[in-house]
Amino acid sequence: MKPTVVLVGRPNVGKSTLFNRLTKTRDALVADLPGLTRDRHYGHGRVGDKPYLVVDTGGFEPVVDSGIMHEMARQTLQAVDEADAVVFLVDARSGLTPQDKIIANQLRQGSRPVYLVVNKAEGMSRAMVVAEFYELGLGEPWSISGAHGEGVRELMDEVLEPFADEAPAEDPRHPKFAIIGRPNVGKSTLVNAILGEERVIAFDHPGTTRDSIYIDFEREGKPYTIIDTAGVRRRAKVNEAIEKFSVVKTLQAIEDANVAVLVLDASLDVSDQDATLAGFALEAGRALVVAVNKWDDCGEDQKLRIKHSIARKLHFLEFAKYHYISALKGQGVGELFKSIDQAYTAAMCKLATPKLTRALQVALERQSPPMIGLTRPKLRYAHQGGMNPPIVVIHGNALDKLPDSYTRYLEHSFRRIFKLEGTPLRVQYKSTDNPYTERAAPPKPTKGKPKPVRYGKKK
């Protein structure tokens, strides 16, 4: 079992910078703005000789009793309860603050070992930097620079020293799905409903989630990874630098996932932004499930209206399954999860070449390819060229002239024959080259005796 190391501290002391340093990634958003991180962010530690999990938390404001900062504090306290060791970060540039003292008193009451770390100490005398922090009564302070990596390796060796040296186990391939949608449609509430706990902050305010939060969990003994993403608005409305980074993180999460769950708000019509987001997931080749949330709050007229709106603006998602749910009350979440499993299975399926070729012949018998001039393209055999999405490669002659409508017909045929629900399917063509097209024409034979070759000037 890997030990869990939790990073705790007031806002803007460099927790996310240290998290990226320990995981050797750029998973956590970093900017010179307080309160950027809000949810718990997990990662695999790669600095040190032992495997461990590192958790980035939001800025700790223990005295706030309402609002988003109070929810962030609850998330931090929950992370501390799950921790095997706590790294308490303070700022060498700001010095000791009253808020640091409150956090230290709260951490001292727990049973987890606490390591006091003075961050942003690059270029400063260690003795002068740590002197005032002895007042916190948490033992010998460590001086480091999370941005430059100074003292980080020595710190982690000390933190991990009490734990057994275990070889990291290889993680098997497992489903990874991203919850995507516009702001305030209930994505974080849906994540908490699937997990069965308040794992991420669900707040009645648009833009609560700023980063893409990866959460590993098990359901009925099977491992999964769920990704809670930030809401994506129209580009014209994205002004803050933080929100621009959040949009990039959401698009990266879609690329990284196997299945995308598009969450819609049943109280609102489907917008162009919903269609754009679904189109991006489709272009990335991801399996897709649509969850229409807040269904219990709608009257019959609004339910009929949203269904018409979905049929009109999301007609290109004919392969996806639709679920009408209430994430807040947990209604329909179980059936939604079954569709996520089915979509993942379809996206990662392996199709045998003989079966694909027989399916191709069945499709050809039902509808032959159209004539192209005086010739008809010949489709000979098919094999699988990839997964997530499934790619079918068809070999034959003159396939580059097939119309898009016939390609769509083949995609629908393969999806129907192999019962691939919830995933797009792509058809690629590979035409056999004509060996005579590039060969030069043979010279024409001459009649009679060849003419003599004359040299010099003709008199």
The string of pLDDT tens digits covering residues 398-418 is 888 899 999 999 999 999 999
| Residue 108, pLDDT score | 87
Token digits of residue 190: 């849906």
Q: Say which residues have a Cβ less than 8 Å from residue 419's Cβ, sequence separation at least 6.
A: 346
Residue carrying structure tokens 């499930």? 289
pLDDT at 435 over 80: no
Question: So what's the pLDDT on residue 393?
Answer: 94
Mean pLDDT along residues 313-325: 92
* Distant-in-sequence, close-in-space partners of 317: CB < 8 Å, separation ≥ 6: 278, 282, 288, 290
Residues of the chain with pLDDT > 90: what percent?
41
The stretch 162-176 carries a mean pLDDT of: 67
pLDDT score of 290 more than 90: yes
Rounded Cα–Cα distance for residues 12 and 207 (Å): 19
> Average pLDDT over the chain, rounded to whole?
82
Q: What is the pLDDT of residue 29?
A: 55
In this predicted model, what pLDDT tens digit does every residue of 207-236 receive, in sequence order? 445 467 888 888 888 899 998 887 775 544
Number of other residues whose CB lies within 10 A of the CB of residue 9: 24
Interval 247-275: pLDDT, tens:
667 777 888 899 999 999 998 888 888 88
**Residue 413 Rama label (left phi>0; alpha psi -120 to 50; beta):** alpha
pLDDT, average across residues 131-155: 92
Q: What is the pLDDT of residue 249?
A: 72
Complete domains list, the chain, with CATH: 4-160 (3.40.50.300), 176-347 (3.40.50.300), 353-431 (3.30.300.20)
State residue 260's pLDDT score.
Answer: 93
What is the average per-residue pLDDT within 112-131?
Answer: 91
Q: Whole-model pTM above 0.85?
A: no
Residue 224's contacts (CB-CB under 8 Å, 6 or more residues apart) are 174, 175, 176, 177, 216, 217, 218
In the DSSP assignment, the letter for residue 205 is: S
pLDDT (average), residues 181-198: 85
194-230 b/e with 16+ CB inside 10 Å = b? bbeeebbbbbeeebbbbbbbbbeeeeeeeebbbbbbb
What's the pLDDT tens digit per position in 52-90?
A: 888 888 777 766 665 556 666 777 777 787 788 999 999
More confident residue, 442 or 15: 15
pLDDT range class, residue 22, cuts 50, 70, 90 = very high
Annotated binding site for GTP: 9-16, 56-60, 119-122, 181-188, 228-232, 293-296
pLDDT band at 240 (very low <50, low <70, confident <90, very high): very low
State how beta strands 176-181 and 222-228 pair: parallel
Structure-block tokens of residue 457: 């000037």
CA angle 399, 287, 232 (to 5 degrees): 115
Binding residues are 9-16, 56-60, 119-122, 181-188, 228-232, 293-296
Among 16-25, 162-171, 222-231, name the one with the lowest average pLDDT.
Answer: 162-171
Tokens of 132: 């005032």
- Per the rule left: phi > 0, alpha: psi between -120 and 50, beta: everything else, 25 is beta
